[in-house]
Amino acid sequence: MNDASPASASNSMEMLEFSLQGLRCANCAARVEKTLNELPGVEAAVNFASEKAYVRLAENSELTAGQIIDAVAALGYQAMPSGQETHAAEQARKQETHRAELRQFWIAAALTLPLMLQMGAMFSGATHPGGQGHDVLPRWWQFMLATPVQFWIGRRFYVGAWHSLHGGSGNMDVLVALGTSMAWGFSTVVTVFGLQEQHVYFEASASVMTLVLLGKILEARAKASASAALDALIRLQPQTALVEKDGVTLEMPVSRMLPGDVFIVRPGDSVPVDGTVLSGESMVNEAMLTGESLPIAKLDGDPVYAATVNGDALLRCRASGVGSQTRLAGIIRLVEEAQGSKAPVQRLVDQVSAIFVPAVVMAAVLTFAGWWWLAGDFPRALVNAVAVLVIACPCALGLATPTAIMVGTGRGAREGVLVRDAEALEMAGRVRILAVDKTGTLTQGKPVVTDVLPLEGVEKSTLLRVAATLEQGTSHPLAAAVTNCATAENVNPGVLADLSAIPGKGVRGKVDGLPCLLGSPAFLAEEGVVLPETLCQTLQAAARSLVGVACEGRALGVLAVADPLRASTPAAVARLGALGVEVVMLSGDNARTAAAVAKEAGITRFQAELLPEEKTRALAMFKAELASQKSSQKASVGMVGDGINDAPALAAADVGFAMGGGSDVAMKTAGITLMRDDLNHVATAIELSRATLAKIRQNLFFAFFYNVLGIPLAAFGMLDPVVAGAAMALSSVSVVTNSLLLRRR
């Protein structure tokens, strides 16, 4: 597969999603994935656990969805376009397939049960009255019972094996079909030619087929549980809404709503689409999106989001985001892409799976040859070879990683932690140094002017007028604080011209025709304007950010701005420290202010007066620091930010964490988005990552241990094919069940 996963590929590529049918094991998924990635302009990932293919088409690609479906069909599998709108149809189709498989299983069980009783009688020493050794059932009866199970019930395995071998690879179907066919074929020859001295193994072939089918049924149920979180998100979407049309309130499908529609949300109802409150006051429960248990007050002008639940008052709102443009739809899309991506640890599994089936077939051949040559016992050699083929089916190996990823990302979505891809999830667990922006991350991100300090001979209103005029043309976080202060003091801005911003420093422009400056004391000093040093030091020591103002080369005064620390920040920093994560603050503020904020937050290391590009260099330094520590070779550097200026640093980090209330640029750049502006969610994401990686390691150990132990036992004649079939079926279910334990974390 190409190195870029669908989840991390360029936004210039179109994403397509397909539901797959016919995948039997990880090798099937790998085969489909390889074929799709060989198509021009395609980046694809196939998730065996969810039975989905995620395909990105390059901007200039001429491939169509139909051509992709045809490519999958040529391999012997079915592909159908998938999405939120097809979810109900996909679920119905899976349920119908499940019912058909269940019917086949009960038929197979009914035919196999007499054969199993025959095997039990054989072990008990019972004999057939006609003298056929240990056969209680006549062999022709056994033949008639086993043959429908072998070729009717087992047809799916033969079809899958044919398509797999025709494509030049092997999968689980090859092992099952080959193993059971050997047992059935030998038994049939013995029966047809009346070789009474030889034992028949019809019970082995039929039992293995039946148990493998049972295992697939149980596996399908377990995989459905693994995707339950995503299904729950999809079900959150309301189907109808109360919409005002021409003065009349009508109930209409949500799918027909358009941006600008005015809709009504009654008490206790779910909000149908994203919108803005026009009238009404109510408390809205947003726990399904953010994980926040406390309802949020909504007033005129406040945003509301689809699937959130209104409290005890009526709200009248205007739609702003509908269909795929709602926040809920974005969350579902992100979770789907994360569940379809591959963690770096999966690459080893893929490499092993590619050679696994040929290796198992070789092991079975050697087992057969060894027993026949050394012991001279053809039937025993055959049985042991069949056991090797059956016990080694690689289903558990293929499910080990994707099921854990599915459950982990689903749990994260419920807790307000949205993971972009599996690589970000894996890297989050390895974070040892976490760089954090100050404004909006550690602090509330809503600065207020605490002091307006004009210098001697300068009117307070003059100072505010110049400051407000210069700030009205910028998007700096402090700008709103300055303009709000001027408004509160009934000071109107002047006429602004020739505004130019100096990133990380300040702005210059003409106010009422006069050249003016606004920015940090250091910036003003560079321009030849010096502010009173004692005044600046006193304010900075009190964790105030300073905005100096000058006009015509003369200092007018200083505005002191405070951005209060979030109440949860000190506890979050302590929690991260307990996880072995060092929090380092990166700030563009002056050193004294940064030191005061860091001390209040419980942070011991910080860097101040940094420009955006200098934050990126700081991250590179942290990476080099970890690389120099032999014990931290797999450690990673994380970055938490919320603003546009944080985007380069978020991209430069091993894994970026974006505050959900921040800019769209930051959230698109980061690997993990936190739906609540709370540093505690970073700790939650790290804990979730580590728990998920632990489950993956447990699953892989179990899958490898199962095969490493089972194959030798079967080869040395210590494992009956029927027992091997049961063990193989249970191994897959056990791996998925272990992944599901993440839901109880």
Residue corresponding to tokens 């063990």: 727
d(CA 530, CA 143): 101
Strands 582-586 and 605-607: what pairing?
A: parallel
- 3-state helix, strand, coil split of the chain in percent (to 5) is 55, 20, 30
d(CA 434, CA 215): 44
3-class SS string, 63-113: CCHHHHHHHHHCCCCEEEECCHHHHHHHHHHHHHHHHHHHHHHHHHHHHHH
Residue corresponding to tokens 């899976």: 94
Residue corresponding to tokens 């599996």: 422
174 contacts 165 by C-beta, under 8 angstroms? yes
d(CA 633, CA 611): 29
d(CA 83, CA 326): 15
37 contacts 2 by C-beta, under 8 angstroms? yes
d(CA 369, CA 381): 7
Catalytic residue among 135, 173, 261, 437: 437
Question: Taking the CA atoms of the chain, what radius of gyration do you get in angstroms?
Answer: 33
Residue corresponding to tokens 């509908």: 322
448 contacts 459 by C-beta, under 8 angstroms? no
Collapse the DSSP code of 658 into the 3-class scheme (helix H, G, I; strand E, B; otherwise coil) and give the result: strand
d(CA 159, CA 22): 10
3-class SS string, 206-241: HHHHHHHHHHHHHHHHHHHHHCHHHHHHHHCCCCEE
d(CA 119, CA 544): 84
Which residues touch 529 (CB under 8 Å, ≥6 apart)? 517, 548, 550, 553, 554, 555
Adjacent-strand bridge partners of 46: 53
Phi-psi region at 275: left, alpha or beta (left = phi > 0; alpha = psi -120 to 50)? beta
Question: Is residue 437 flagged as an active site residue?
Answer: yes
Strand order from edge to edge, sheet including 52-57: 42-47, 52-57, 14-21, 78-81
Active-site residue set: 437
